[in-house]
Amino acid sequence: MSDSVVAATHCPYCALQCGMELSATPDSAPDAGAVLVAPRAHGDNAAALCQKGWTAAELLTSTDRLRTPLVRAARGEALAPTSWEAAFGTVAATIARVQAEHGPGAVAVLGGGGLTNEKAYLLGKFARTVLRTPNIDYNGRFCMSSAAAAANRAFGLDRGLPFPLGDIAAADVVLLVGGNAAETMPPFLRVLTAPRPDTGGLIVVDPRRTPTAERARLHLQPTPGTDLALALGLLHIVLVEGYADTEYVAARTDGLAGVRPIAMSYWPERVERITGVPVAQQREAVRLLATAGRAVVLTGRGAEQHAKGTDTVSAFVNLALALGLPGTPGSGYGCLTGQGNGQGGREHGQKADQLPGYRRIDDPAARAHVAAVWGVDPDDLPGPGPSAYELLDSLGRPGGPRVLLVFGTNPVVSAPAAARVEERLAGLDLLVVSDLVRSETADLADVVLPSAQWAEEDGTMTNLEGRVIRRRRLRPPPGEVRTDLEIMAGLTDALGRGPAVETDPERVFAELGRASAGGPADYAGISYERIDAEEGVFWPCPSPAHPGTPRMFLDRFATSDGRARFVPVEHRPAVEDVDVAYPVYLTTGRVLAQYQSGAQTRRVGALRRAAPGPFVEVHPVLAERHGIAEGDDVRVVSRRGVAVAPARLTETIRVDTVFMPFHWPGAGRANVLTNPALDPTSRMPEFKVCAVRLEPVGRVVRERAEATR
């Protein structure tokens, strides 16, 4: 592993994975710590970075970086520096004791969608062969699980975008459901709003008139939690008004007969009553999609983060199938992956029900294949474990895990019903967190292990279009910081069990290729050398001679007979609808200058100044009803908790709805409010809608602020 003064790599944040060049001055220079960032063109994504990307290198030298292991001698005492040997010894001794008393499942692992493919793969292997526990899941369960489940049952395989980004830019019409790319992945906005003929354009479905919706030709603004009814209504219009591609449906799909009667019961006027979207807008959306030469349907978290998220995505997939889009060159259905490695992170084994290569952990053939690569007996591999929220909610309870190891996620801020999750973490015998900063979860830990950042390690990521790309190391990590691969190896040695853990990322990736070979997500033909030569390789790629697969499903779908499936789904209300006690809908999301739980971006000065704290978006009409003025502190109360943040009055949101970003801890922690009700298929929590009431706390006193200047 060599260090360089220049490294061609990728942004550490979202799944767009924009190309980035890092440069550092030679060590002999006075400003040896400086790292410069420049955009770099990569694939179909032009050379561009958002504010988060431009400032990403600031965290490399931040005073908030963890540089040595920390341990808490006893509950109530402060975390104190210690040696790696002592930290590993503490963790190993507690794991050995707890598993001896309560069995292998008494230890659990929670991973993250920002981990490299190598780390995600090794984390799954570590959990199942070293810890021998079924209890491993990852925060991508809160991101992509509903879209993945819907794609699997319709197409037989989930790859977020089964086509390159360029196909979206070239499409005449794009329907974006529940996504706000202008703030979540700004360079992608240029793809969405690429020049199109007058008959085309961008259609956005969102309860808020976001910066993305502002750029749309047509904005459909439904009541939160009613996207499924809207999709059924759009399909109704397609079928009744003769827009369906009957030749495509007959040749490439099954199941429309089971879907048609349901769609017939969602006539436009009924859908308007349910969703609030006018009939004329419904018809215009269908006309634009159906008359386009090339059309793409995309879903984002707004459609997916519901207790019916899988069915909602299935309804939009049904719409796309009726129009003949999936598997048609230049058209299709896709899901916008959110986290940096949200795609690769769910493919290789850190998800509770999966083994590497998207294999099912309960499939005997899959278990035999992976066990052979790992050198273990298939019968020794544990079965599937619970989903992320179910795992978190079981911590410290009778029969639940008593030790949790966390790699690269911050559930104290990001999990639903976050106060309850915080209580569960406090009930553990041992909480271990591997991270690069002291996140809110790390602050609760008994042992904190400092891990390397993206510019300090090699590895691969799989971006939102299924392209496997390279992350390249610029320089070694500071102080005593280790990579997550080295941390897992150290824990394995301290425990004295399991197969040896490889710490060289290129060799780990080669093993990942062998483990994934023959699986749905087959990386067997991908190597570091090939990625370097080809600017990334699209999976599946089963052999070095295979060209990779930029566009999937062109000839057949990944089902047993090669045909896509229409899936019958029915609309149902949000698990928690508004009532007299809680008369307002709450929806949550992100803002431009922050990312996920904010553990990293809140420590970058420019980003903190651009978005310093939480707020509540309130329509002026709703604000007037409650006596709320701009800047007033507002208590937002749900059945699970209370958050307090200043009001931001705007007409871009529905009168019956308020919005809060979820990046901050403390009084404005939005996820203390959200509903942990789970989708029965994907186990996705209902982040995007719950019932709340507003209680004005009092107007911000400007004189007080001025007096402190």
Q: What's the mean pLDDT in 596-608?
A: 95
The pairing of beta strand 616-618 with beta strand 584-589: unpaired
Residue 45 has pLDDT above 90, yes or no: no
Each residue's pLDDT tens digit, 162-192: 999 999 999 999 999 999 999 999 999 988 8
pLDDT for the residue 707: 38
Give me 497's structure tokens.
Answer: 């069990």
Q: Is residue 513 part of a domain?
A: no
Note the pLDDT of residue 74.
87
Among residues 335, 352, 381, which one ends one of the domains? 335
pLDDT tens-digit series, residues 512-557: 999 999 999 999 999 999 999 998 999 999 999 999 999 999 999 9
Per-residue pLDDT at 199 = 53
pLDDT of res. 2: 55
174 and 320 inside one domain: yes
1: confidence class by pLDDT, cuts 50, 70, 90: low
> Is 124 inside any structural domain?
no
* pLDDT at position 32 over 70: no
All residues at 6 or more sequence positions from 268 whose CB lies less than 8 Å from its CB, including other chains: 233, 236, 237, 279, 282, 283
Number of domains in the chain: 3
pLDDT digits (tens, 9 = 90+) for 295-328: 999 999 999 999 999 999 999 999 999 999 999 9
Domain CATH number, residue 685: 2.40.40.20
Domain at 328, CATH number: 3.40.228.10
The verdict on residue 373 lying in a domain is no
Does residue 510 belong to any structural domain of this protein?
Answer: no
* Residue 98, in any domain of the structure: no
Whole-angstrom Cα distance, residue 182 to residue 165?
16
Residue 138 CA to residue 410 CA, distance in Å, equals 11
Taking 90 as the threshold, does the pLDDT of residue 80 lie above it?
yes
Tell me the C-alpha distance between 43 and 20, whole Å: 12
Are residues 151 and 56 part of one domain?
no
Q: What is the pLDDT of residue 338?
A: 84
Give the closest residue to 328 by CA, choosing from 453, 167, 465, 466: 167
Please check whether residue 501 is in contact with residue 8, taking contact to mean a CB–CB distance below 8 angstroms. Answer: no
The span from the CA of 108 to the CA of 106, in Å, is 7
In a domain, 244, yes or no: yes
What is the SS3 string spanning 631-661? Answer: CCEEEEECCCCEEEEEEEECCCECCCEEEEE
Residues 41 and 153 in one domain: no
pLDDT at 197: 57
Residue 55, pLDDT above cutoff 80: yes
**Domain range for 643:** 584-707
Neighbouring CB atoms inside 10 A of 665's CB total: 22
Average per-residue pLDDT for the chain: 94
Residue 399: is its pLDDT beyond 80?
yes
- For 498-511, what is the mean pLDDT? 92
pLDDT tens readout for residues 408-436: 999 999 999 999 999 999 999 999 999 99
Strand arrangement, sheet containing 467-471: 459-462, 467-471, 537-538
d(CA 90, CA 93): 5
Q: Is the pLDDT of residue 14 over 50?
A: yes
Boundary-marking domain end, from 61, 79, 100: 61
Summarised one tens digit per residue, pLDDT across range 696-705 is: 996 543 333 3
What does the pLDDT read at residue 42? 87
Average pLDDT estimate for 617-623:
98
Amino acid residing at 271? V
Residues 163 and 298 in one domain: yes
Q: What is the largest CA-CA distance in the chain?
A: 73
The two beta strands, 467-471 and 537-538, are antiparallel
Is the domain of 155 the same as that of 302? yes
Report DSSP state, residue 466.
S
Mean pLDDT of 629-646: 97
The residue among 335, 356, 374 that closes a domain is 335
CATH of the domain at 18: 2.20.25
**pLDDT band of 25, cuts 50, 70, 90:** confident
Q: Cα 320 from chain centroid?
A: 23
Classify residue 321: in a domain, yes or no: yes
Q: Which two tokens stand for residue 603?
A: 């420590």
Question: How large a percentage of the chain has pLDDT more than 70?
Answer: 96
Residue 45 shares a structural domain with residue 158? no
Judge whether 86 lies within some domain: no
